[in-house]
Amino acid sequence: MSIRQLTQQILSELTHNSQYIDDAELESLVTVIRQANHIFLAGAGRSGIGIRGLANRLMHLGFDVSLVGEISSPHTKAGDLLIVASGSGETGSLVSLANKAKLAKVNIATVTMDRESSIARLANVVVMLPGVSPKLKNQGINITSIQPMGSAFEQLCFLVYDAVVLSLMAEMSETSESMFTRHADLE
């Protein structure tokens, strides 16, 4: 199979997997984002790369955001939001982070494959997306993938994050041009 054909098969998988997206869960995520005083974002591995992209776009929309672990990240306050991207919902450092946020009365949202995971049980908002992973402890959505490990989940996360941004743009009357005024100029 050619690389073009493999790319088309990946896109077909993602199109199929997108039917499992729950609009109500994503609307809840948009609501907690809009209500947050400050938004902290965290993820590990490839899920962490995707969540960094969401952090960037939320900043472009004018939200106060921080990536957990960055030196410029402020102290949390009640009314803040922590968004955790974790396919398995069991990554040790992220479970610990969610527990700490819960104690600090920070709202927690997670994007995961496992609604019964440790992080999901701590979260106020759970967005469940399909994927395949050897780290998945509980039954997620029963799908298969030609891709290794959590790739299908991670790719769908990135697309869903962009859709969340489009929804926020519409609600906030933002445009690409208005967002660009917040784009980094010291690059």
66-120 pLDDT per residue, tens: 999 999 999 999 999 999 999 999 999 999 999 999 999 999 999 999 999 999 9
pLDDT at 111: 98
pLDDT at 138: 62
Output the CA–CA distances (angstroms, integers) from residue 138 to 32, 70, 83, 90, 159, in the order listed: 26, 32, 21, 11, 24
| Catalytic, out of 13, 154, 171, 187 | 154
Reply yes or no on whether 70 is catalytic.
no
pTM: 0.94
Mean pLDDT for each 10-residue chunk of the chain (187 residues)? 96 94 97 98 96 98 97 95 96 97 97 95 96 69 83 96 98 95 90
Cα gap 8→5, rounded to integer Å: 5
Q: What DSSP character marks residue 61?
A: T
pLDDT at 132: 80
Residues 6+ apart with CB under 8 A from 180: 60
pLDDT at 186: 87
pLDDT at 83: 98
Cα gap 81→58, rounded to integer Å: 13
pLDDT at 25: 98
pLDDT at 145: 86
- The dotted CATH code for 20-177 is 3.40.50.10490
CA proximity to 96, closest of 70, 68, 73, 75 = 68
Q: Where are the domains of the chain?
A: 20-177
Q: CB 70: neighbour CB atoms within 10 A?
A: 10
